[in-house]
């Protein structure tokens, strides 16, 4: 029987597979902000022979067509005839020909070709696309041959091919995740507003000199080594510039002279050791993480800055008044620098709007107690992974602080007076210190908004930890347990503690839980009751199933005995018949 079912499954498998991958189309009616009401059509696994599926979905006012895993080798005639009013086309993981398959789609505004392994595009792809505004070609295999396939794409051109002035109004181009290493005459895209070239192999930006309407430029994760100031000469409207993950080392003093309207600048993960920001009066976000900056120059002209990230550099000192003019800054990241103890009383002078300060792993053992005098709006403070043994009155003026991270320092005690003024504190993290004592009763009783405290990986005794966790539980304060917990180690409620188990300690821990932690006891009782109920249900079900099995076996036995009885009775009857017949013959 099993062999027969297996054979049947194997015979049906090709049909099942074909059904799963069968061509289909569906349509839905939507309101489109720019196009009013219309249909979105979605198709899968189309080819030239199954184009009728798309025919059945066509109505009269299609807006968007999305096609996945299909073959578009000879379909230009069909699109032009039946879908001439389309505004958006998305082709995902499709097989495209090198002909003008989009010919005469004159109303098309967005063309998205993704994950289709396109390595070459001829100029006639875009013949007749007079209204095209967005061209997305991410995650393909485009290289320089692709670049050399264009002439007057209003961006990418070659010599010797026909004019593509039909695309002169294109505003957005996305060529991310390809293999482009050079750009030719891309500055002919005069109306371009967004140009994204991330994750390619571009080494120079020598052709971006005539894009007067460009607002967003993304060239992240390429091979850029240097940038000439003439590259950005005409970018008067540029607001967003992303050059992270390149190999830049030097930027000239006047590099930003012509992009004074810039709001966002990302230079993370380069090799920059000096930068002049005097020409960026309106920049609001500055990202310079993972470079080689040895120091911070005074931010004299960038008075609109709201966020600065200079983490993972070579900064040795935070000079006094270096941020004095940054009255609008809300976030500052100084983490992973070797600042050590070179922070002074007026290092953060002027940061009146600062709400978040990240100073993780700055090799500091001491911070002046008055350094936060000018930061009374601070809400998030991270001083983890340093060498602090105490904080004195460092936090006393931070009455608005909500999250305090002082994990992985060298604290042996957390005193109440250290954080007594933090009445808005919600979370405190003291993981990975050398804590032997925490004044938890005063802290929890006075700081009413405190909801979470991370106390794992310290040197607290099991007796102390038992009493503290009991208090936390009764006062609804969360504590963090070890994610990879081992019951082989001494612990209380999943938090390792420092104590050798003996009868006295066991008695103390048992007494603490029995007398003080009533809620814990009730939870344990409820858990036990639930376990008992589940166990009882399991027993009842087992008894029912066993009874049913016994009844079934009994029925089978009775039926078998009955059959044997009938058989024997018939045999006996037949024997009597034969005996009577024999007597008659005699």
Distance CA 186, CA 184 (A): 6
* Angle, in degrees to the nearest 10, between helices 518-585 and 462-474: 90
If DSSP codes are grouped into helix, strand and coil, which group holds residue 71?
strand
Q: How far apart are CA 217 and CA 227, in angstroms?
A: 14
CA distance 528 to 388: 45
Structure tokens at 168: 């002169």
Residue that the structure tokens 């066991």 belong to: 506
- The candidate with the shortest Cα–Cα distance to 353, out of 317, 325, 382, 394, is 325
Which residues in 178-229 belong to E strands, given as ranges?
194-196, 216-218
Give CA 52 to chain center in angstroms.
Answer: 40
For the chain, domain boundaries: 229-246+258-357
Q: What is the pLDDT of residue 473?
A: 93
Is residue 218 packed enough to be buried (19+ CB in 10 Å), middle (13-18) or exposed (0-12)?
buried
CB proximity list for 416: less than 8 A, separation 6 or greater: 439, 442, 443, 446
CA distance 364 to 387: 6
Question: Torsions phi, psi of 496, nearest 5?
Answer: -65, 145
Q: What letter does residue 572 receive in the DSSP assignment? A: H
The answer to whether the CB of 234 falls within 8 A of the CB of 259 is no
Residues pairing with 310 in the sheet: none
Token pair 């979370």 in the structure block, residue: 427
Instruction: Give the phi and the psi of residue 527 in degrees, each rounded to 5.
Output: -65, -40
> SS3 for 42?
strand
- pLDDT, tens digit only, all 586 positions of the chain: 445 544 444 444 444 433 346 788 888 888 777 777 788 888 888 877 777 777 677 766 778 888 888 776 656 556 666 777 788 888 888 877 655 677 777 788 888 888 876 666 665 666 667 777 777 777 776 654 444 434 333 333 222 223 334 456 778 888 888 888 877 667 777 888 999 999 999 998 876 777 889 999 999 999 999 887 778 888 889 999 999 999 999 888 888 888 889 999 999 999 999 999 989 999 999 999 999 999 999 998 899 999 999 999 999 999 999 999 999 999 999 999 999 999 999 999 999 999 999 999 999 999 999 999 999 999 999 999 999 999 999 999 999 999 999 999 999 999 999 999 999 999 999 999 999 999 999 999 999 999 999 999 999 999 999 999 999 999 999 987 766 666 678 888 888 888 755 544 544 444 444 334 434 434 433 444 454 455 556 666 676 777 787 778 777 777 777 666 666 655 655 555 445 445 554 4
Q: What pLDDT was estimated at residue 366?
A: 94
Check: CATH 3.90.1150.10 for 229-246+258-357?
no
């Amino acid at each position: 029987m099993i062999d027969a079912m297996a054979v049947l499954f194997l015979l049906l498998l090709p049909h099942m597979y074909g059904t799963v991958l069968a061509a289909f189309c569906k349509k839905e009616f939507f309101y489109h902000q720019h196009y009013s009401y219309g249909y979105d059509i979605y198709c899968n696994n189309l080819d030239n022979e199954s184009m009728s599926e798309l025919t059945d979905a066509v109505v009269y006012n299609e807006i968007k067509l999305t096609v996945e895993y299909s073959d578009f080798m000879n379909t230009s005639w069909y699109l032009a005839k039946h879908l001439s009013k389309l505004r958006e086309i998305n082709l995902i993981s499709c097989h495209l020909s090198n002909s003008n398959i989009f010919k005469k789609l004159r109303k098309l505004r967005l063309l998205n070709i993704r994950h289709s392994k396109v390595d070459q595009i001829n100029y006639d792809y875009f013949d007749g696309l007079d209204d095209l505004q967005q061209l997305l070609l991410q995650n393909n295999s485009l290289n320089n041959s692709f670049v050399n396939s264009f002439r007057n794409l209003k961006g990418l051109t070659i010599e010797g091919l026909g004019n593509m002035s039909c695309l002169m109004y294109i505003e957005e181009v996305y060529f991310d995740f390809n293999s482009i290493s050079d750009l030719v005459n891309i500055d002919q895209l005069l109306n371009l507003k967004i140009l994204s070239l991330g994750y390619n192999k571009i080494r120079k930006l020598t052709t971006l000199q005539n894009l007067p309407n460009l607002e967003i430029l993304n060239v992240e994760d390429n091979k850029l080594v240097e940038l000439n100031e003439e590259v950005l000469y005409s970018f008067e409207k540029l607001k967003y510039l992303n050059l992270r993950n390149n190999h830049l080392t030097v930027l000239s003093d006047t590099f930003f002279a012509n992009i004074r309207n810039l709001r966002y600048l990302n230079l993370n993960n380069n090799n920059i050791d000096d930068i002049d920001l005097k020409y960026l009066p309106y920049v609001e976000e500055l990202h310079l993480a993972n470079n080689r900056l040895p120091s911070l120059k005074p931010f004299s002209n960038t008075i609109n800055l709201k966020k600065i990230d200079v983490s993972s550099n070579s900064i040795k000192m935070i000079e006094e008044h270096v941020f004095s003019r940054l009255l609008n800054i809300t976030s500052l990241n100084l983490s992973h620098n070797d600042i050590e103890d070179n922070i002074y009383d007026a290092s953060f002078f002027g940061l009146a709007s600062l709400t978040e300060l990240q100073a993780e792993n700055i090799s500091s053992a001491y911070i002046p107690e008055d350094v936060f005098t000018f930061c009374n709006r601070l809400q998030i403070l991270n001083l983890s992974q340093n060498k602090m043994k105490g904080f004195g009155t460092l936090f006393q003026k931070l009455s608005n602080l909500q999250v305090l991270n002082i994990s992985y320092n060298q604290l042996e005690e957390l005193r109440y007076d250290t954080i007594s003024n933090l009445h808005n504190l919600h979370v405190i993290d003291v993981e990975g210190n050398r804590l032997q004592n925490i004044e938890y009763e005063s802290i929890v009783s006075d700081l009413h908004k405190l909801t979470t405290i991370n106390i794992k990986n310290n040197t607290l005794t099991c007796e102390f930890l038992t009493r503290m966790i009991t208090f936390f539980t009764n006062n609804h304060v969360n504590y963090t347990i070890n994610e990879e917990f081992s019951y082989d180690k001494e612990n209380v409620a999943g938090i390792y503690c420092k104590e050798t188990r003996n009868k006295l300690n066991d008695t103390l821990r048992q007494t603490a839980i029995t007398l003080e932690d009533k809620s814990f006891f009730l939870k344990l009782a409820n858990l036990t009751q639930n376990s008992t109920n589940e166990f009882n249900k399991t027993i009842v079900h087992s008894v029912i199933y066993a009874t049913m099995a016994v009844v079934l076996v009994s029925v089978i036995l009775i039926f078998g005995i009955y059959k044997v009885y009938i058989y024997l009775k018939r045999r006996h009857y037949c024997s009597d018949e034969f005996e009577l017949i024999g007597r008659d013959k005699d």
